[in-house]
Amino acid sequence: MQMKNTRSLAILTSVALLISLALGTGIGAAQAVRNPDTLIIAHSGDVDSLDPAWQYDTLSSGITLWNVYETLIFFRGGSVGEYVPMLATQVPSLQNGLISRDARTFTFPINPQARFSDGTPVTAEDVRYSLLRMMLIDRSGGPSWILLQPITGEDSTRDERGNLKPDIYDKAARAIQVRGNSVVITLARPYAPFLNIMASWSQVISRRAAVARGDWNGERATLAQFNNPRRNSDTKLFEGAVASGPYVIERWDRAARTVILRRNDRYWRGRPAPIQRIVYRTVEEFGTRRLMLQQGDADLITVARPEQSQVEGLPGVRIVDDLSQFVTQALFMNLDVKGAGNPYLGSGRLDGNGIPPDFFNDVRVRRAIAQSIDYGATRRDCWRGKIAPGNGPVPRGMFGYNERGQWYAFDRERAIAAWREVAGGRVWETGFRFTVLYNTGNAARRCASEIFKRTLESLNPRFRVDVVSLAWSTYLAQESEGRLPIYFLGWAADYADPDNFVYPFMHSKGTFTGAQSYNNPEVDRLIEEAQRTADPARRRQIYFRLQEIAFNDVPTVYLGYPTGFIVMRSWVRGWYHNPMFFGLGYLHALRKTE
Amino acid sequence: MTQFIVRRLMLLPVVALGTTLLIFALTQLLSPAMRASLFVQDPNQMRDLEAIIQKYGLDQPFHVQYWEWLKNLARGDLGYSFVARQTVAEAIRSYFPMTLELSLLSFAVILVVGVWLGTLSAVHKDRFVDHLSRFVSIVGTGLPTFVWGLLLLLVFYGLRPWFPPGRLSLQAYLFVTSDGFHAYTGLMTVDALLNGQLWIFWDALRHLVLPVLTLSYFIAAVLVRVTRSSMLETLRQDYVRTARAKGVAEPVVIRRHARRNALIPVITLGSLIMVGLLTGSVITETIYDLPGIGRWGAQAANQLDIPGAAGFALFAALLTVLGNLAADVLYAFVDPRIRY
């Protein structure tokens, strides 16, 4: 055994030596552009589906959105609140009369020049079909609700028993109408973020081509057989649809885990894209991806924050850091932990060896927790400092974020004082033991859990915290079942509106809050009022008020809003960032030159 | 002999069923919500978990779910692997050729090097060749595959870009996926030759060099040691001494008398090696970004893709039984004294 250890050690040392040698030599310092008319992207994930109504993961949407499937309007440059026309000729506004006075009706005049890649014109009828399809395919766990909710006021196309609601088609069809060459959408009630949703989720495909592939024909009678498809491969547009973007899907090779986009040479907006092909390849192993980047066989690779140092200083490689994105990282507390004999609660009683299931129901406990987190160390050590301090669900840079919003700070003495106050000093006297959880493989959250444990245990020797990680799927399931007492999670925007954050984080029916058993009627009322309000000043006021409640009630501790970064060969030009881009965003203008 | 083979083949479905039953039983340790959450990728999708459970029938009791699977199996439907984004049958069809190609090449290398070096080592016991081969094989058995694989990649791709990862270069890949190329077998090197595209053949071969080296080194190392000890054992036997005493030339003694008998344990090991290669070289496939069956199987197990994992297990069980059968038949061929 001893011998074996020595041998492995010797081997590892020589490997480390060779690796440092390889990194030091910097081969490829003056490489010529490799594959000048092809952009190769090596990523770590798996493409789920190329059907616009199915895809809801960043990777799949990132491949097709805007590059293949264009939307009615688009974001202006890096802005998330200003729009430019894409398939529509104008961005609707109150001034140009394309938004009605009651803020419920939106008119989108369709550009008569717009053409699908097969040469056929993009008609208002195609737009209507695409929007209906997006809403009514409605697979469980899919993105349809994003359109369904504002347009029909319904959450789902199915009732609680899973049956298709009989009036859902009519509701949707009535709400979206074709008038001349325009599409007129009437919302169930005013919904402020609607234009923002349209900039990402109004993907238009050719109805004719879709029906020719055997997809839904847009009629009421045939909807049932297309609603809630069981498998991603069951939809006829699994491998993509005909659309109007600068690229078309050439092939999705599922065995080789490669998606290839080919330039649309007949792109309707005139100039075809400079790059002829875009290749998306899944390369799981980071070391392999890194070498491919170094050799110029990949132009862009995905890198996780903890791996960043390994691509820094590579010759011919450019890293764009501190990219704003709309992501909120938080520590959640569960006010009513479920599951008999739940192991994460220790003994299940306040006897120094556990906590009762309603431990976090006491707001003083939650405040004491919020005061016992070493925010500085967590942000510095776990996110390499690349995370803006948090003070509520709405991320920094988004409308509704309160620059001056108050939040807790770490101070040993005040934290101890806060704990002494809980339950008349009983918690301080007896101490507790519980488990804090994170998802396996998430290095930042593991680090945050460990700092949390260390800080809390340093306050009082009778405080004990166990750190446990669970596989992602198990983690999400146990979270939604309300079994986790205190845990780390994050949320990324579906659309750039604070409602997409306050609802899941604070509304009693929200994705997180439901599982946390947090319920504050005032919060629900405010969130619903903000949804109905078109006046930005009033909305801002509401979101600021919600931030205050988040601070006072503190069911969730907001750690912060991490920034992103991107790693590419320096010969990739023309890339720009918008926080609402999925994946790499809009690739039309990209080119490769020295 | 035929009877023996038939009897063994009849055992096959039993082994296969047992394997899948075990896998299905294990999955029942997870709650329906846990299995349902496998179909979502981030918290945004969690709002519909109940609907997902219903849709996939995850709340059904074990026997109902297993029976459904069996009924489908009887129709030749192995289910849908969400990891592969295709049916299990399609997944096996699309991933297996890559692994088969890699395995056949590696197996050839392993066998030739293993038996040759093992024999050489035994014949020249305690001499330089023996010490060298023992050193090389000890390093091979002690070296973790991922270290060896990454090291090779680092040197022969990172330092000198001779052998890139992946199955083909971009140009070759685009050609192979165009209409001008017909995939007859799924084995890239073979298909390239059948299509008369020599450059594709070289390209595919170039991409196989490192994976084959990675796989064969440490397996060949084991085989060297087994062959060596088996040869040493045989060389001590009386009949070898008799043969030598009769004046039979040494190379003939070694090839015809000793090695043939020493091959029995090698055959046992060989069949295990071949089955092991065929059912997956997860690490090698991952490091070199090869779309093989091992990576799929591991991913299916890892992500609790139950139809995928069950289908993979079924396939692996099948190969194992066939591999053992092949070994038994070979025994009889090598050693005529063995009768079934």
Contact B170 A295 (CB under 8 A): no
- Chain B interface, mutation test: which of A249, A283, A288, A503, most B Cβ atoms within 10 Å? A288
Between chain A and chain B, how many beta carbons pairs sit less than 8 Å apart?
168
Q: In a 3-state reduction of DSSP, which class is residue A42?
A: strand
- Chain A interface, mutation test: which of B27, B44, B136, B306, most A Cβ atoms within 10 Å? B44
- Chain B interface, mutation test: which of A480, A483, A495, A513, most B Cβ atoms within 10 Å? A480
The average pLDDT across B245-251 equals 85
Higher-confidence position of A474 and A60: A60
- State the pLDDT at residue A7: 46
Residue B153 · residue B210 · CB < 8 Å? yes
The average pLDDT across A408-412 equals 95
Contact B30 A49 (CB under 8 A): no
- State the pLDDT at residue A416: 96
Residues of chain B with Cβ-Cβ distance to A490 below 8 Å are 43
**What confidence tier does A28 reach under pLDDT thresholds 50, 70, 90?**
very low
**What confidence tier does B32 reach under pLDDT thresholds 50, 70, 90?**
confident
Distance of CA A420 to the CA centre of its chain: 39
- Whether B264 shows a pLDDT value over 90: the answer reads no
Higher-confidence position of A543 and A3: A543
Q: Would an 8 Å CB–CB cutoff place A9 in contact with chain B?
A: no
A279: nearest CA partner in chain B:
B170
- Whether A306 shows a pLDDT value over 50: the answer reads yes
- State the pLDDT at residue B44: 64
Nearest to A140 by CA among A119, A162, A113: A162
Contact A297 B164 (CB under 8 A): yes
The average pLDDT across B269-298 equals 89
Distance of CA B118 to the CA centre of its chain: 22
Strands A38-43 and A277-282: parallel
**What confidence tier does B95 reach under pLDDT thresholds 50, 70, 90?**
very high
Rg (CA), chain B: 24
Residues of chain A with Cβ-Cβ distance to B164 below 8 Å are 292, 295, 297
- Whether A10 shows a pLDDT value over 70: the answer reads no
A414 burial (CB, 10 Å; 0-12 / 13-18 / 19+) is middle
- State the pLDDT at residue A73: 98
Q: Would an 8 Å CB–CB cutoff place A479 in contact with chain B?
A: yes
Contact A297 B56 (CB under 8 A): no
Using one digit for the tens of pLDDT, what is the confidence trace for A239-254? 999 999 999 999 999 9
Give whole-number Cα distances, A241 to A85, A301, A521, in Å: 22, 26, 44
- State the pLDDT at residue A19: 54
Nearest-CB residue to B150 (from A140, A258, A287): A287
Query: Quick one: CA torsion of A290, A293, A295, A298, rounded to 10 degrees?
Result: 130
- Above pLDDT 90, what percent of chain A? 77
- Whether A471 shows a pLDDT value over 60: the answer reads yes
Nearest-CB residue to B41 (from A57, A140, A277): A57
**What confidence tier does B38 reach under pLDDT thresholds 50, 70, 90?**
low
- State the pLDDT at residue B237: 86
* Cβ within 8 Å of B, A 262-301: 277, 279, 281, 283-285, 287-288, 291-292, 294-295, 297
Nearest-CB residue to B45 (from A141, A228, A256): A141
What does the buried/exposed string (b/e) look like for A256-275 if buried means 16 or more CB atoms within 10 Å of the residue's CB? bbbbbbebbeebbbeeebbb
Strands A38-43 and A572-573: unpaired
What average pLDDT is seen over chain A? 91
pTM, rounded to two decimals: 0.86
CA distance B148 to chain A (A): 9
**What confidence tier does B40 reach under pLDDT thresholds 50, 70, 90?**
low
Nearest to B103 by CA among B191, B95, B148: B95
Backbone angles phi, psi at A121, to 5 degrees: -70, 150
B51: nearest CA partner in chain A:
A140
**Plot region of B4 (φ>0 → left; ψ -120 to 50 → alpha; else → beta):** alpha
Rg (CA), chain A: 26
Residues of chain B with Cβ-Cβ distance to A232 below 8 Å are 82, 85
The average pLDDT across B29-34 equals 72
The average pLDDT across A448-459 equals 97
- State the pLDDT at residue B45: 66
Distance of CA A51 to the CA centre of its chain: 18
- State the pLDDT at residue A243: 97
Highest mean pLDDT: which range of A113-127, B136-150, B169-183, B310-324: A113-127
The average pLDDT across B245-272 equals 83
Cα B252 to Cα A9: distance, rounded to the nearest angstrom: 44
**What confidence tier does B96 reach under pLDDT thresholds 50, 70, 90?**
very high
Q: In a 3-state reduction of DSSP, which class is residue B265?
A: helix
Cα A261 to Cα A239: distance, rounded to the nearest angstrom: 12
Nearest to A581 by CA among A45, A79, A51, A244: A79
Residues of chain A with Cβ-Cβ distance to B82 below 8 Å are 231-232
**What confidence tier does A14 reach under pLDDT thresholds 50, 70, 90?**
low
- Chain A interface, mutation test: which of B68, B81, B85, most A Cβ atoms within 10 Å? B85
Contact B36 A48 (CB under 8 A): no
**What confidence tier does A15 reach under pLDDT thresholds 50, 70, 90?**
low
Q: Would an 8 Å CB–CB cutoff place A381 in contact with chain B?
A: no
Nearest-CB residue to A476 (from B37, B155, B286): B37
The average pLDDT across A585-589 equals 88
- Whether A25 shows a pLDDT value over 60: the answer reads no
The average pLDDT across B100-118 equals 92
Transcribe A386-404 into DSSP letters: -EEEP-SSSPTTSTT--TT
- State the pLDDT at residue B242: 87
B4 burial (CB, 10 Å; 0-12 / 13-18 / 19+) is middle
- Chain A interface, mutation test: which of B29, B40, B53, B68, most A Cβ atoms within 10 Å? B40
Distance of CA A193 to the CA centre of its chain: 17
What token pair was written down for A211? 């029906």
A425 burial (CB, 10 Å; 0-12 / 13-18 / 19+) is exposed
Q: What angle do CA A416, A335, B48 make, to 5 degrees?
A: 140
B190 burial (CB, 10 Å; 0-12 / 13-18 / 19+) is middle
Sign of CA dihedral A153, A156, A157, A162: negative
Using one digit for the tens of pLDDT, what is the confidence trace for A484-508? 999 999 999 999 899 999 999 999 9
Contact A481 B151 (CB under 8 A): no
Least confident of A19-23, A331-335, A420-424, B272-276: A19-23
Transcribe B271-334 into DSSP letters: HHHHHHHHH--HHHHHHTT---HHHHHHHHHHTT-HHHHHHHHHHHHHHHHHHHHHHHHHHHHH
Cα B267 to Cα B264: distance, rounded to the nearest angstrom: 5
**What confidence tier does A5 reach under pLDDT thresholds 50, 70, 90?**
very low
**What confidence tier does A123 reach under pLDDT thresholds 50, 70, 90?**
very high
- Above pLDDT 90, what percent of chain B? 28
What token pair was written down for A130? 């695409």
Least confident of A119-123, A184-188, B25-29, B197-201: B25-29
Using one digit for the tens of pLDDT, what is the confidence trace for A513-547? 988 999 999 999 999 999 888 788 999 999 999 99
Per-residue HEC secondary structure of A292-356 comes to HHHHCCCCEECCCHHHHHHCCCCCCEEEEEEECCCEEEEEEECCCCCCCCCHHHECCCCCCCECC
Cα A151 to Cα B247: distance, rounded to the nearest angstrom: 97
Nearest-CB residue to B40 (from A40, A141, A481): A141
- State the pLDDT at residue B313: 86
Contacts of residue B255, defined as CB under 8 A and 6 or more positions apart, other chains included, come to none
Give whole-number Cα distances, A25 to A290, A454, B36, in Å: 15, 41, 48
Transcribe A406-439 into DSSP letters: ------HHHHHHHHHHGGGGHHHHH-EEEEEEEE
Q: Would an 8 Å CB–CB cutoff place A16 in contact with chain B?
A: no
- State the pLDDT at residue B225: 87
Using one digit for the tens of pLDDT, what is the confidence trace for A356-406? 999 999 999 999 999 999 999 999 999 999 999 999 999 999 999 999 999
Contact A256 B33 (CB under 8 A): no
**What confidence tier does B41 reach under pLDDT thresholds 50, 70, 90?**
low
Contacts of residue A550, defined as CB under 8 A and 6 or more positions apart, other chains included, come to A391, A392, A393, A505, A506, A556, A558
Give whole-number Cα distances, A35 to A38, A277, B213, in Å: 5, 10, 28
A315: β partners: none
What token pair was written down for A230? 């069981």
Residues of chain B with Cβ-Cβ distance to A138 below 8 Å are none
- State the pLDDT at residue A552: 97
